[in-house]
Structures are given as structure tokens and as C-alpha cells.
Amino acid sequence: MNEQVPFAIMSDREKYLFDLQGFIVIQGMLTSDEVKALNEGLDANHDKRLDDGNRGASGAMAGDHPRGLYTGMLTWDKPWCQPFRDLLTHKKIIPYLNTLLGRGWKLDHNPFIYTASKGTEGLNLHGHGMVNLSGSRFYAYQNGRMRCGLINCQYQLADVNPGDGGLCVVPGSHKTNFRIPREIAIGEEDQEIVYHVPMKAGDLVIFSENTTHGTLPWTADNERRSLFYRYTPMYLHYTGGEYETSHPDWVSELTEAQQAVLQPPYVYNRPLVEDDGETVVQPRREGE
């Protein structure tokens, strides 16, 4: 039997830390049963692993071989697709998305998984805060509310211990006004400002796309398994995906909330996902 999923809120402590750092770690976001089901789905589809084409790590980020990449988990054969579909609007993530993106948000392109074995290369630090005027990745605070463009939700399906490698960030860089120098981005200088994010299986890290982030080369004997879901406000199209203009037949199998987050970007009369997981339609207000 699955462990009960409690109702969640984004606490004042978490709001403070996200505003300060540009990221937060939520421990125990997934239950042990949820982690097991996701890993079983991955194991059953090991033949779908690809080499990540986003290479080019250099300096201290270089490695012997590329990261592994899985995509298309939402359309894997049943029952393997189901735990990935369940994460689309997991009741524990909804309040965080409502707080960071505002009521009304959408999945931006397909979820994906990065894997790594010992010796796998990293990825140079990227994301440049407020350097560029961009409506697609930004961070703002106004009238007591935080708002972001694209945000990343990275679930760990295996432990990431200190020194193992994987996700690293520069805390506070979501507000910087200067582009990161190359010697820092490739890990050759000032690495004391770079924070490696250790986590346990089932933990979640949420970070803004404009928070400077990258991947350290993987040094552990166990496999890295990092699962990404990326969301944008309801009006924003960042990378996009195959569900942006039309829905395939299988989408009818999803819940109302899950279908809502696969909608294309628009505002009027859009189904919104409430903190309790229910959907409501936001009507167009008079004069708009």
C-alpha cells in the first residue's frame, strides 16, 4: 500500500530560501513506493537509453563519456508510464508551482531523465541571472509574490552523496547582473562559490532556469538517476513539446489536472490547478 501523501504548502522558510538562493531542496518529496515504481519503470525500459547530445563540457567539467538520456516516459507501455504521469500534478508539488509561477501553469516539453556512470562528463555552468531581458526565464518579486519563468523540478531516484557529482548551482545567481566568466563556468576558478547539491532518493530540488547551474562529472560507483519536470506560467512557451498544439488519444486517460498542464499557453478560461489538486476554470473578467 502506498504511503499517504500529506497536503503540502510552500512554507515561509522555503520562500525565504528560494528568494535568497534561487533554489530549494525538499527532502522526502516522494515516498519509497513512488521511487521504487519510477525505478522499476526505468529498468523495464533500459533499451530506450540514448546518449545525451548536449556535449561540450570542458575544463574540470570534462569526462570520459556522455550522460545517458531517457525521454518519452509518459508514453511508455503500461504500467511503466503511470508513475511518471502521476508526477505531472503530484499533490505535493502543486502548492510550490502555484507559489512560484502563479495560478495557472503548464508543463514545458517532455519530462526526461539523466543517468550517469562513473566517469561521465558534466555540463558547464550556465544560466545568467538578469543579464538578458528575457520573458522566458526571469525571477521577480512584486506585491509580496515571487514569480519565475521556466523552473526545473529535479527528482532524485538514487542517492547523490557529497562529492558524487551531478547538479551544482551558484546560490543567489538568479539575481546577478553579470554573465558568468568562462573560467568559473568550466570549473577552473572560484569553485568555492559553486554548491554541489547532495540529495537522497525521493528528494526534490526546484531551481529557476536563470539560476546559474551545471553538472559536475560523476564519480560514484552507483548510477545517477535524475528525473526532470519543467514548468512555465500559463502564458509562456519556452522549449515547448509535442502536446502544445494538439493532444494524442492517450491524454484522455489522464486526470483533469494532468490534462490541464498539457494545455498550450493561453490565459482566458483556462483550467487552473488548485492546491488540493482540483481544477477550476478562471473566467474572463469583465473589461478584459
Higher per-residue confidence, 221 vs 284: 221
What pLDDT, on the 0 to 100 scale, is given for residue 238?
84
> Is the sign of the CA dihedral 101, 102, 107, 112 positive or negative?
positive
Contact indicator for 136, 238 with CB cutoff of 8 Å:
yes
Element (H, E) at 214: strand 213-216
For helices 12-21 and 94-101, the axis angle rounded to 10 degrees is 50
What pLDDT, on the 0 to 100 scale, is given for residue 253?
94
Query: Does residue 93 register a pLDDT over 90?
Result: yes
What pLDDT, on the 0 to 100 scale, is given for residue 248?
79
pLDDT digits (tens, 9 = 90+) for 111-159: 999 999 999 999 999 988 888 767 778 899 999 999 999 999 999 999 9
Q: Within its chain, how far is the Cα of 112 from the centroid?
A: 9
What pLDDT, on the 0 to 100 scale, is given for residue 192?
97
Among the listed ranges 1-10, 94-103, 176-185, 230-239, which one has the minimum average pLDDT value? 1-10
Higher per-residue confidence, 283 vs 271: 271
What pLDDT, on the 0 to 100 scale, is given for residue 134?
72
Query: Does residue 240 register a pLDDT over 80?
Result: no
Rounded to the nearest 5°, which phi and psi values hold at 250?
Answer: -65, -20
- Residues 257 and 279: their CA atoms lie apart, in Å, by 6
pLDDT digits (tens, 9 = 90+) for 69-80: 999 999 999 999
- Residues 37 and 202: their CA atoms lie apart, in Å, by 11
Query: Does residue 264 register a pLDDT over 60?
Result: yes
Mean pLDDT over the full length of the chain = 91
pLDDT digits (tens, 9 = 90+) for 181-231: 999 999 999 999 999 999 999 999 999 999 999 999 999 999 999 999 999
pTM of whole model > 0.85?
yes
What pLDDT, on the 0 to 100 scale, is given for residue 132?
76
Take residue 1 and report the three cell numbers written for it.
500500500
What pLDDT, on the 0 to 100 scale, is given for residue 283?
63
Domains of the chain: 12-282 (2.60.120.620)
Take residue 185 and report the three cell numbers written for it.
563556468
Distances (CA, A) of 99 to 62, 93, 181, 210, 279: 37, 10, 32, 17, 16
